[in-house]
Amino acid sequence: MQDGTPHDGAASRPGSLAGYSVLVTGGGSGIGLECARVLAADGAAVTVCGRSEERLAGAVAALAQGALPGAGPVTMVAGDVTVEAEVERIVGAAVAHGGGRLDAVVASAGGSLHMGPLVLADVEAVRATLDLNVVGTFLTLKHSVDALAASGRGSFVGVSSHAGRDTFRFLGVYGAAKAGLDMLVRVAADELGAAGVRVNSVLPGVIATELMTGITQGGPVLDSYLEEIPLGRVGEPGDVAALVRFLVGPESSWITGQNLSVDGGQSVRKGADYSAFARAVHGGDPRWALIEPTA
């Protein structure tokens, strides 16, 4: 029976991740980049991963330029999280950057290659979306878990989506992929608790990143979002990064197997409607009548 004292790897003061080594996949932009910034600012040695060396180099330069005294070092490694041999190499680079250890992984690599009705989806786009979000997260966990267990304070955080919890019209493939990620996290938490590795996911709502500019700049899809968000605003990458930072650090040492929403409360209502985008792309297809029958 435990006595309730902090575990052996706990930081000496809140807000410090000094001595931590963290891998952030999808760390070249958006939520992943902001997570890397917040973790490094708190003292962690951070390795950012992505497929584009150019984007990663720009991200590392930006993080170095804005770093405050006490920030941890940041490095990059390019690679594809859907290729097992590359994931092994990526994790190895993160362990080396951390001086032989890895305390946390933020699996932020994700996205969707399809938006539209399920009955009009291209099967290869479906497979690629599932591969990136589910298989990529699985491979990242598979090849990082030994180092996470050895650290004595290992934390794995998957970046999921509100679309994996509630229905969003015309984001069904992406939603299915994120729902798969969330179940993967829950099962892994159950299996790895004995090893002292915590596994959780965060479920962002609409976040003002470069990728979401087409929505956040205004229009019917944004209106659909705002109608369902109790706090009445779009989220910022920092809103997600703050929750990720908590899940990485010792303050959350008794939290595992959770899929935690960070969406301004939208998950208490319902998902947004992407009809405007889907209609623009697929409205000319004869099978669109299955979605919006003509009078």
Residue 4 reports pLDDT greater than 60: no
From 20, 174, 225, 274, the catalytic residue: 174
Concatenating the DSSP letter of every residue in the chain gives ---SPPPTT--SSTT--TT-EEEEETTTSHHHHHHHHHHHHTT-EEEEEES-HHHHHHHHHHHHHTPPTTPPPEEEEE--TTSHHHHHHHHHHHHHHTTS---EEEE-----S--S-GGG--HHHHHHHHIIIIIHHHHHHHHHHHHHHHHTS-EEEEE--GGGTS--BT-HHHHHHHHHHHHHHHHHHHHHGGGT-EEEEEEE-SB--GGGHHHHT-SHHHHHHHHT-TT-S-B-HHHHHHHHHHHHSGGGTT--S-EEEESTTGGGS---B-HHHHHHHHTTSGGGGGTS---
- Give the range among 62-66, 122-126, 129-133 with minimum mean pLDDT: 62-66
Domains for the chain: give ranges and CATH numbers.
21-290 (3.40.50.720)
Report pLDDT for 9: 39
From 178, 225, 270, 274, the catalytic residue: 178
Arithmetic mean of pLDDT, 172-194: 98
Residue 5 reports pLDDT greater than 70: no
pLDDT tens-digit readout, 211-221: 899 999 999 99
Is residue 225 flagged as an active site residue?
Answer: no
Global pTM reads 0.94
Report pLDDT for 260: 98
Arithmetic mean of pLDDT, 64-81: 94
Is residue 174 flagged as an active site residue?
Answer: yes
Percent of the chain's residues with pLDDT above 70: 95
Average pLDDT, the chain: 94
